[in-house]
Amino acid sequence: MPSEEPRPAPVLRRPPDPADRVIWEPSERWVRGTKGDVTVVDSRRPVLVWEPGRPVPLYAFPREDVRTDLLRETVRPATGRHAGATVFYDLEARGGTVTEAAWTYPGEELAGYIAFAWFGREVLDHWSEEDEEIFVHPRDPHKRADALPSARHVQVGIEGTIVADTRSPVLLFETGLPVRYYLPREDVRLDLFTPSGHRTRCPYKGEATAYWSWSGGGDVPPDIAWSYPDPLPAVGAIGDRVAFYNEAVDLTVDGERLERPASGFIRPRPRPR
């Protein structure tokens, strides 16, 4: 009998993390957090913590790596946040108090660790991993941001007008997000846009300090294009280039019109028929 052809191995996808419990893993990064000129956290043995329902991690630190003399237990903390934590701490530094700036997790696994708030609150002024400042939240070791130069032909259209046309983009592949196409400034019609004062920060790319809004009217969201003049070294290839929200422009790559993705950054608008 003829032998059967070997079957290809199935493609396995990493299962999602459980939605009902805290996930954590140790990190070997040297992490520091400061408030003004005061170092509040200085740890070479933090742990990364993923709370239920949060797509990005937090850091928790051994108690002995934290200036606990600056912490006071919160008298009436809001409950139901941070995976069941009930012990919260106010931070007293630089002559002021930040309420519920830190907390401890229940259970034995993370006993002796203290976590600090990052999201939407300026609890500490600066965080760094080794000697590089990080923003917004700790970097997730299971996610990547790869900036790859390409020879693809990329065109960007807004309201029927071609606003960018290049054959030398840099493609940014960031885990879980749409591919972003960073284009040379000379290939973008920036005269059709108005600079805005909008700024954003990203733990993987750095600070986007240049944004532009479309000047041509129509149902186009503001701050549709942006640039990282001085990105973090890992994605240095995107430096000073211009990217657009795929969700709200018409992208054509190598002659193929791309579908507008759905994401939490901007609500996609259906293309006119």
Q: What is the 3-state secondary structure (H, E, C) of 178-240?
A: CCEEEECHHHECHHHEEEECCCEEECCCEEECEEEEECCCCCCCCCCEEECCCCCHHHHHHCC
For residues 1-19, average pLDDT: 55
Highest average pLDDT, of 77-81, 97-101, 177-181, comes from: 177-181
Q: Residue 129 forms beta bridges with which residues?
A: 31, 132
Give the number of other Cβ atoms within 10 Å of residue 108's Cβ.
Answer: 7
pLDDT of residue 272: 46
What's the CATH number for 145-257?
Answer: 2.170.150.40
Q: Could you tell me the pLDDT band of residue 238, with boundaries at 50, 70 and 90?
A: very high
Q: Could you tell me the pLDDT band of residue 265, with boundaries at 50, 70 and 90?
A: confident
Per-domain residue ranges of the chain = 23-134, 145-257
pLDDT of residue 95: 76
| Token pair recorded at residue 153 | 């032909």
Question: Given CA atoms 185, 189, 191, 193 in this order, what sign does their dihedral have?
Answer: negative
* Across 40-49, 122-131, 185-194, least confident range: 122-131
CA dihedral 152→158→164→167, nearest 10 degrees, is 10
Which pLDDT tens digit goes with each residue over 167-215? 999 999 999 899 999 999 999 999 999 999 899 999 999 999 999 999 9
Q: Which of 2.170.150.40, 3.40.50.300, 1.10.3720.10, 2.40.10.220 would CATH assign to domain 23-134?
A: 2.170.150.40
Phi, psi of 63 (to 5 degrees): -55, -35
Fold match flag (23-134 vs 145-257):
yes
Higher pLDDT, 134 or 44: 44
Give the number of other Cβ atoms within 10 Å of residue 159's Cβ.
Answer: 15
CA angle 139, 143, 148 (to 5 degrees): 105
Q: Name the DSSP letter for residue 66.
A: B
Q: Please tell me the distance from the alpha carbon of residue 59 to that of residue 17, in angstroms, as a whole number.
A: 17
pLDDT at 246 over 50: yes
Higher pLDDT, 80 or 174: 174
pLDDT at 1 over 50: no
Q: Please tell me the distance from the alpha carbon of residue 213 to that of residue 263, in angstroms, as a whole number.
A: 19
Query: Average model confidence (pLDDT) for the chain?
Result: 89
State which H helix or E strand residue 124 sits in: none
For residues 117-137, average pLDDT: 86
Q: Please tell me the distance from the alpha carbon of residue 237 to that of residue 66, in angstroms, as a whole number.
A: 37
